Chains A and B, each alone.
Chain A
Amino acid sequence: MQVSINNLTLSYGTFTAVRDFQLEIEDGESIVLLGESGCGKTSTMRCVAGLEVPDTGRIRIGDRDVFNSEKNANIPPNKRNVGMVFQSYAVWPHLTVLENVSFPLRMRGVDRVTIKRKALETLEIVGLAHLADKGASLLSGGQMQRVALARSLAMEPNVMLLDEPLSNLDARLRDDLRLELRRLQLELGLTSIYVTHDQSEALALADRIAIMQNGRIAQLATPVETYRSPASASIARFLGVSNVFPVKRPKGGAHLAELTEFPMAIKVATALRAMDDQSVCLRPESLTIAAREDANAHNQWAGTMQIVAFQGSYLRCTVRLDNGPIVEVLSREESVESLHHGDRVWLSAPPEDIQVLSNDVRIQE
C-alpha cells in the first residue's frame, strides 16, 4: 500500500531524532533508509510502526491516517497491520516455529484450520515448512530470520518494516538472504521500508535509497543514481567512495580546485562555488594508470605504486602521489598487471570525470 509521511518530527527530550521528515512511498516499492547510527532511521521506522509516538506530523498508510498530530489521531500498532522484522528477530523462544507464525492469525481470530493452513503456506514460502514443530529456541540465526519474516508475511501486512534484519548473520548467509528478501519483496509486491547502515545491502535491495543524516533525508534516489552522483562529500564517503578530498575556496579560477591538505591542484569541468565547503572526488574507476608521462593529459600526477591487488575482473591499486595524497584506482587495463610495488606511475583523469561535491547537503529551511 502507498505510504506517505509528512512533516514528521520526533524528539527525545532536547534531542531531535527525526526532524520535519518527508517521504512518499509507492505501492509495492522498496525503500531503504540508509544512514549511520543515530541518524534517525530506526526512529522513523518505529514511528511508522506505531512503537514511537511522533511529536508532530502525519503518517498515511493507504488511505488511512495512522498518525496525524493535527487531528490527534494515533492508531495503536496492533491495529495498523504493519509487519515488522526486528534486528534481534524477536522470535519467541517459548513457542514452536508454527506457533510463532500462527500468532498474527490467532490475534485476528481466524479459525484453527485456516490458521494452520496459512501458517504452513507461509513457512513454505520461506522454506521452513519442515521445521514447523521445532521449538524456536533451537533454530540457527538464519532460520530465526526466516521465521521472523514468515510471521510478518502471514499477517499480509500493508507495509513491511525491516530493521537491519541481516546484521546479525555471517557474511555468506547475509548475501544469500539479501537476494532472497529482494525476490520475495518483488514477487509478493510488498511495500517495504528497510533500515540499514550497510551500503551494499541498500544498493542491492532498494528501489530508492533515502540517505538520512541528522534526522532527515539528505538524498533520495535510485541505487545507481545514489552511487554515481552522491549529493555530498559526506554521503560519498559513507557510501565507501574513495579519493574524496576537501578543496580550498577557489582563487585561481572556478575551474581549478586546490586541495586543502596537499599542495596539489586539479582541473575540474564543473565550476566551483566561491565557498570553503567543497570537495572533489576522483572516482577510482575513472582514473587511468600509465607507466610513463603523457604530454597531452589535462590532469596528470606522478606517483609511486604501493599495492596492486588482483580482484578477478579488475585490479585494485593504491598509488602514493608525489604531492602527498594516497589515491585508490580501479583498473581493467592489462598493462597495469605488470606493474609492481615501488614502480613509478602517472595517474590522469579528464576534468569532466571529476566530481565537485558540497561537503554536506545544505538544508533548505
Chain B
Amino acid sequence: MSIRIKRTEDNASTATERIAIQHLREDGVRKSSRPRRKWVVSGIVLAVLFVLIVVPAGFVALAAVSLDVPRPGNINFDLTFDNFIVLLRPEVGVAFLNSLTVALVATAIALIIGGGLAFLSARTNIPLRRFVYFVGLMPIFLPSYVGALSWAQLGSPNAGMLNIALRDLGIDPFIDLYSIGGMIFVFSMYYSPYTFLLIHSAMSMMDPDLEAAAKVHGASTRQMLSKISFPLVLPAIVGSAMLSFVLIFENFPVAQVLGSPGRIDTLPTFIYRLLNTSPSRGNESAAIAVLLVLVVVIVTWLQQRLIAKRSYTTVTGKGVKPSKIKLGRARTPMFVLVLVFFALSIVMPIVSLLLTSAKTSSYMSSFADLLKPGALDISGFFQAVATPTFLDVTINSVVVSSLAALFGTVLAFAASYIVYRSKFAGRGAIESVSMLPLAIPAVVLGMGLLWTWLVMPIPLYGTLAVLVVAFLAVQMPQGFRGISASILSTDRDLEDSAVMLGASRPRAIQAITLPLMKISILSTFTLLLMLSMRELTVPLFLYTYDTKILSIAIYDSFENGGALQTAASMSLAYTALMFVLSYIPQVLLKSK
C-alpha cells in the first residue's frame, strides 16, 4: 500500500520515500555475487554527484571548524572551534529570532491562503473555479524577489506608491514594508502556491466514497470535513507547511530587499554580510551556516516522523471527481477574498512595476503628478530593455538555464533509474546525496560552490559553465524527485517484458521506458528550467562581470539604487519571459 499524491515542485515527499522503502523491502538488498561490475555505473554517477554536491557541502563544514576558508592551492586543515563563538554575538541571536518569527508566521499565513484557495477551487461551488485555481497558482510565476521588489515600490515608508496614495487621500502614510511585518506579508503571498498545489492535489484525489461513507453514517457536512476530509489531507498540509517553512527560513533575496533598508537581519542576510565584509569572515559565516543547516535538518526530520506515524493509504490516485460542497451565503464573500488576494499578489505588483518603468521622473509626490503630460512614457521601458546588456544577460540566463535543466534531467534520470530500478551497489548513497541539497540553504551552498570552483583545478570559475554546474547541484533534489515519482509509477514489468522479448537493457529503456515517461521527463525539465531562471542566491556568489544573468542584473540595478526604472522594466520582461518559457514544453508536446 502506498500513498500516491501528485508530486509538485518541492514536495517534501514522504510518499516517494515510503514507496522507496517498500520497494527495497520487496526487492531486497542482495549480496552481490559479482561486486565489481555492480559498482561501475553507479560509481560514475556517484562521482559526479560527489563533485557537484558533497565537495561544496564539505568545504562549508570544513570552513566552519578551521582557521581559514579553502583557497586555491591551500585547503586549511587547522581545526578550531573558535568560529562558533560568533554564534554568541547578540546580532546572531536577533537574526536567528527574526528568521524564526518570519518563517513561522509567514508559513502559517501561506498555509491559510494556499489551503483556503485549494479547498475553494477543488471542493466548493465557488464561481469561476478555474480562475480561482489560476489565482492560487499564479504567484509562482513571479519570483519572490520580483514580488519583494515591486512591493518595495508600493510600500516603502515614504516614497511608496501606496503611501503617496494615502497622502493624496489626506491620510497619514503608515505602510512600511521594510519591516518584519512586510517580509511576512510578501513571503506568505509568494510561498502560498506551494501549499496550494500540494493541498489541491491531495483534495482532488481523495476517494469520494470516504466522504460519502461519513455522510451515510450520520455526519453533517461540517463534521465530515473536520473528522474525515481534513485528517485525510493532513500529510499534504504538514508536508507543505514544512516545505514553506524551510524555503522561507533560508530565503535570502526577499529578506535582503525588504530587510536591509530597515537594518533588519535574518540569518541568510547576516551570513551574506559577514562574507562580504572586508576582510571577509568566511569561517564565521560557515559556522552560522551550520546552525542554519541544523534547523532545516531538524524540521525535515520532524516532518518525516509526523507523517510516518500513520498510514494514509486511503488517498488514492484514482482521479475521481469528489463531490462539491455548497458554500451558501459565504459564496460571494469568499470570491471577493480571492479577488483581494489576486489584487495584492499579482495585479498591484505588476501595476507598480509598469508605473515605475514608465515614469519619466523618478520623483513623485502625488498621483496627480502622473496625469501631467509626459509624466508617463512607455519608451522608458523599451530603453531599459533594448540595451545590449539586457540582451546579453537574457541570453546568458536562457542558455545557462536550458543547459542546467537538460543536464539536470539526464542526471536525475540516471540517479533515479539506478536507485529504483537497478541492483547496482551504492543505491542508498546516490539517493542520499541527490537529496542532500534540500537540507542546505542556498546561501550556504552558494558559499561552498564558490570555494569549490575556486579551488578545483578545472578552470570553470568565471565562465557560464560554473553557473550550470552550480544549478545542477542546487536543483538535484527537485529533478530526482520528479523523475523518481514517474519511475515508481511506471510499472517495471513494461521494461522487463521488452528485455524478455529480446531487447538489450539500454534498448528497452530507449524504446519503452523513455517514451512512457515522456510527459514527466518534459515537466521535470520545465521545472528545472523555471527554477534555474529564478535562482538568485547561488549565482550571486558565482557570477562575474561577463557572466551576469537576468536575476542578478535585476537585483544589481535595484540594490545599487537609482536604477529603479531599469530594475522594474527588466522585472516585467523577466516575468513575461518566464511565462512564455513555461509554456514551450506543453506546446512541443501537443505538436507531436
Residues of A at under 8 Å CB distance from B? Answer: 11-13, 15, 49, 51, 53, 55, 69, 76-79, 81-84, 86-90, 92-94, 103-104, 107-108, 148, 151-152, 155
Contact = CB atoms under 8 A, between A and B. Distances in A.
Contact of B31 (A49, A55, A77, A81): A55
B422 interface: no
A90 B423 CA distance: 21
Contacts of A69: 33
B28 A83 contact: no
Nearest to A108: B502
Contacts of A49: 496, 500
Given A78-B502, A107-B501, A12 B30 contact: yes
Given A90-B491, A92-B516, A94-B516, A84 B31 contact: no
Contact of A83 (B500, B503, B505, B508): B500
Given A12-B30, A53-B33, A92 B494 contact: yes
A86 B496 CA distance: 9
B497 A90 contact: yes
Contacts of A88: 491, 493
B126 to A, nearest CB: 34
B28 A104 contact: no
Nearest to B494: A90
Nearest to B503: A107
Given A92-B494, A92-B512, A78 B500 contact: yes
Contacts of B493: 86-90
A319 B508 CA distance: 58
Contacts of B501: 78, 83, 103-104, 107, 151-152, 155
Contacts of B511: 103
A155 B498 CA distance: 12
A90 B503 CA distance: 15
Contacts of B498: 92, 103
A49 to B, nearest CB: 6
Given A49-B500, A103-B511, 8 more contacts: A11-B31, A55-B33, A78-B500, A78-B501, A84-B496, A88-B493, A94-B516, A103-B501
20 contacts: A11-B30, A12-B28, A51-B496, A51-B500, A53-B33, A76-B499, A77-B499, A78-B499, A79-B502, A84-B496, A86-B493, A90-B496, A93-B516, A103-B498, A103-B503, A103-B511, A104-B502, A107-B502, A151-B501, A155-B502
A270 B197 CA distance: 70
A308 B448 CA distance: 80
Interface in B508-548: 508, 511-512, 515-516
B29 interface: yes
Contacts of B423: 53
B504 interface: yes
Interface residues of B, number: 26
B512 A12 contact: no
Contacts of B496: 49, 51, 77, 84, 86, 90
Interface in B416-433: 423
Contacts of A155: 501-502
B556 to A, nearest CB: 47
Contacts of B512: 92
A198 B423 CA distance: 31
Contacts of B209: none
B494 A107 contact: no
A110 to B, nearest CB: 11
A82 B499 CA distance: 10
B500 A84 contact: yes
Given A86-B493, A92-B494, A94-B515, A12 B29 contact: yes
B504 A76 contact: yes
A172 B496 CA distance: 29
B507 interface: yes
Contacts of B33: 53, 55, 69
A107 B502 CA distance: 6
Q: Which of B29, B500, B508, B516 has the most CB of A within 10 A?
A: B500
Nearest to B27: A12
A81 B493 CA distance: 17
A7 B501 CA distance: 27
A104 B498 CA distance: 8
Contacts of A107: 501-503, 507
A78 B28 CA distance: 23
Contacts of A103: 498, 501-503, 511
Interface in B21-50: 27-31, 33
A151 B512 CA distance: 15
A155 to B, nearest CB: 6
A139 B497 CA distance: 18
Nearest to A154: B501
Interface in B466-498: 491, 493-494, 496-498
A203 B512 CA distance: 36
B391 to A, nearest CB: 41
A108 B499 CA distance: 12
A78 B503 contact: yes
B28 A13 contact: yes
3 residue pairs, one from A and one from B, having the closest CB atoms: A12-B28, A107-B502, A90-B493
Nearest to B511: A103
Contacts of A51: 496, 499-500
A86 B499 CA distance: 12
